[in-house]
A = this chain, B = another copy of it.
Amino acid sequence: MSERDPDRAVSQTVRAQLALRDLILSGRLRPGERISELGAVETTGVSRTPVRMALVRLEEEGLLEAIPSGGFMVKAFSERDILDSIELRGVLEGLAARFAAERGVSARDLEPLKESLAELDQLVTQDPVSVEAFSSYVAMNARFHALLTELSHSPPLIRQIDRASALPFASPSGFVMAQSVLPEAHQILIIAQDHHRIVVDAIENREGARAEAVMREHARLAARNLRLALRNRTHLDLLPALALIRSPVTE
């Protein structure tokens, strides 16, 4: 009853979850910092019950860690943790691609993936890729990966991939924006798109091992992007997820 019209659409729990996630990823809540329920109530404007729900969900999401004595703290990640999360996602996406290849995909189901591939081609072929192009690349890339995952037709696997990709630095598009300011940008984009093309081809020809291997290697591009971005320390602001890293990157 206390709500105005514009907010009525989403639940208080979701609103609290979004607000807290934003606070964490933006770095305003530092890794290791304890999250006060009362404080969260003040900043989010909702009561303790939905705040607690949101905290539990964020813990399952991997952004928070339960404190043994009670409550939650912001999780801290090492660079190794991030690289492992990327490798993990690659392994899972590799399994999805192998399932799709081994089990076969109807031409009708493969259609959307090929369309997505063609859309990506449009972007990659322009030589100086504009920053706006990178933004839309992020969305289209996410769509390609989502479609590919679905082709596994395996709900348990899709669920696990979603969970693994929930951490922003592990998502398929996690470090794409870092490319936009790197000299190697265009090369990496071309290679990534080649991976996309190969995996579609492998699925179509039911080459399971090939599809799996290329998706694993594809994920490692994200690891390369991360390392490159950490070398040239500039433009780390493009990667809010790095606010969660343990020691080095805090400005």
Contact = CB atoms under 8 A, between A and B. Distances in A.
A87 B156 CA distance: 10
A186 interface: no
B85 A95 contact: no
A33 interface: no
B57 A88 contact: no
Interface string A149-169: 000001111011001100000
Nearest to A80: B154
Interface in A47-85: 49, 52-53, 56-57, 60, 62, 80-81, 84-85
Contacts of A95: 87-88, 91
Nearest to A159: B62
Nearest to A53: B56
B49 A84 contact: no
A69 to B, nearest CB: 12
A160 B49 CA distance: 28
B160 A164 contact: yes
Interface in A114-158: 154-157
Copies of the protein in its oligomer: 2
Given A53-B56, A56-B53, A56-B56, A84 B163 contact: no
Contact of A156 (B49, B57, B81, B155): B81
A234 to B, nearest CB: 27
Contacts of A60: 57, 60
A146 to B, nearest CB: 18
A156 B90 CA distance: 13
A56 to B, nearest CB: 6
A153 B89 CA distance: 17
- Which among A49, A87, A160, A170 has the greatest number of chain B C-beta atoms within 10 A? A160
Nearest to A78: B155
A157 B84 contact: yes
Contacts of A80: 154
Contact of A163 (B53, B85, B154, B163): B163
A56 B55 CA distance: 11
Given A81-B154, A91-B92, 9 more contacts: A52-B53, A56-B56, A80-B154, A84-B155, A88-B92, A88-B95, A88-B156, A88-B157, A91-B95
11 contacts: A52-B53, A53-B53, A53-B56, A57-B60, A62-B159, A81-B154, A88-B95, A88-B157, A91-B95, A156-B170, A163-B163
